[in-house]
């Protein structure tokens, strides 16, 4: 066995070791246990197909990319048409949430934050989850979602602004 | 400079170039609106970052692993069967006492069969020859 083979993990090992991580990302994206389970199942099938070509690196980055894409594919399939994202032009200024109660935001419960996430357009949700749940940098998010970095900046900031509005 | 807009999050996330960062910080110093925006965005960011990991339902991942094992042996066994078939040609059946005593069975049958000719062991004809009608 050569070095590469040793560093490519076995599928069952990935499932067991990263199952909770994938489930967490899936739950943040879908907002409920049943859809999260379906998504994890889909992700693990994709992992099975992708493992032979996996290049040792950030396993969590790779898995969250697969999870996000599986999620967005499913959203598109269900709608049978492309995502109707809000326009991405970076110049559009986010309306300031006048009167937003910062104290309320600060004490928001995880369930409230999750509900606000689910209220986001899927493309924005995916960017925010990759940034703030997974902790990826903008370059990796751009690569994962197949969009320019400027779009990632815009989606993350506007996503956060929309979350604030939802929790205000 | 215009208000920071999307750059607020990029600044918080450490995703601005050195030049952009310097310009953004200079703007922030003189713009209370952007400082407020920055503080609110930072609070929201912390809320999402503070979300806890979620445990999958008990046995869920293990169930997927086991279901996968049940599905996959089909491929594994097919390969194993092909190997066994190739190797099997060279394998002779075992002869450890399972050969039936054929001779003894024939003898027992012959002596136990009632009626008929003891030599030919044929009974009387039960069907008469068919005659053709004109």
Write down the pLDDT at residue A56.
76
Per residue in A114-128, pLDDT tens?
999 999 999 999 999
Could you tell me which residue, A140 or B80, shows the higher pLDDT?
A140
Q: N- to C-terminal Cα distance for chain A?
A: 57
Chain A hits for B9, Cβ within 8 Å: 153, 156-157, 160
- What tens digit of pLDDT does each residue of A9-35 get? 899 999 999 999 999 999 999 999 999
- Report, as an integer, the average pLDDT of B74-95: 55
Measuring CA to CA, how many Å separate A111 from each of A31, B50, B61, B94? 9, 12, 24, 68
Instruction: Report chain A residues whose CB lies below 8 A from the CB of B37.
Output: 96
| DSSP conformational letter for A31 | -
- Looking at every residue in chain B, the average pLDDT score rounds to 75
Residues near B34 by Cβ (< 8 Å), separated by ≥ 6?
B3, B4, B8, B27, B28
- For B10-36, the pLDDT digits (tens) are 999 999 999 999 999 999 999 999 999
Return the half-sphere exposure (C-beta side, CA atoms, 13 A cut-off) of residue B37: 25
Task: Report yes or no: A127 and A145 within 8 Å, Cβ to Cβ.
Answer: yes
pLDDT of residue A64: 96
Range with the lowest mean pLDDT among A7-11, A81-85, A158-162? Answer: A81-85
- A21–B56 CB contact, under 8 Å: no
Structure tokens at B126: 């039960």
B75/A contact by beta carbon, under 8 A = no
| Whether pLDDT at B74 is above 70 | no
Chain A residues near residue B43 by CB distance under 8 angstroms: 102, 105-106, 164
In 10 A of CB A19, how many CB atoms?
20
Q: Is the pTM of the predicted complex or chain greater than 0.90?
A: no
pLDDT over 70, % of chain B: 53
Q: What is the pLDDT of residue A53?
A: 85
Q: How many residues does chain A have?
A: 168
Q: Model confidence at A82, in pLDDT bands (50, 70, 90)?
A: low
Closest approach of A34 to chain B, Cα-based (Å):
10
Nearest-neighbour CA in chain A from B39: distance (Å): 9
């Amino acid at each position: 066995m050569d070095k590469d083979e040793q560093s490519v993990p076995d599928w069952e090992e990935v499932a067991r070791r990263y199952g909770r991580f994938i489930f967490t990302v899936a739950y943040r994206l879908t907002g409920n246990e049943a859809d999260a389970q379906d998504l994890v199942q889909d992700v693990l099938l994709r992992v099975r197909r992708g493992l032979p070509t996996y290049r040792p690196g950030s396993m969590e980055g790779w898995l969250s990319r697969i999870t996000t894409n599986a999620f967005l594919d499913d959203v598109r399939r269900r709608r049978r048409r492309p995502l109707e994202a809000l326009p991405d032009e970076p110049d559009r200024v986010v309306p300031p949430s006048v009167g937003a109660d910062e104290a309320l935001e600060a004490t928001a419960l995880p369930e409230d934050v999750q509900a606000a996430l689910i209220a986001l357009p899927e493309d924005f949700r995916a960017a925010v989850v990759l940034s703030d749940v997974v902790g990826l940098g903008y370059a990796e998010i751009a690569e994962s979602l197949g969009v320019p970095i400027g779009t990632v900046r815009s989606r993350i900031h506007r996503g956060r602004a929309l979350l604030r509005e939802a929790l205000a | 400079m215009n208000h920071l807009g999307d750059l607020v999050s990029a600044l918080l996330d450490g995703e601005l170039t050195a030049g952009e960062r310097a310009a953004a910080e200079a703007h922030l110093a003189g713009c209370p609106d952007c400082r407020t925006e920055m503080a609110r965005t930072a609070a929201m960011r912390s809320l999402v970052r503070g979300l806890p990991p979620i445990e999958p339902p008990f046995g869920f991942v293990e169930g997927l692993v086991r279901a996968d094992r049940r599905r996959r042996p089909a491929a594994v066994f097919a390969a194993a069967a092909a190997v066994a078939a190739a190797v099997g040609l060279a394998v002779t059946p075992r002869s450890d006492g399972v050969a039936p005593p054929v001779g003894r069975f024939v003898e027992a049958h012959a002596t136990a069969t009632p009626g008929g000719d003891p030599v030919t062991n044929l009974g009387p004809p039960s069907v008469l020859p068919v005659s053709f009608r004109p």
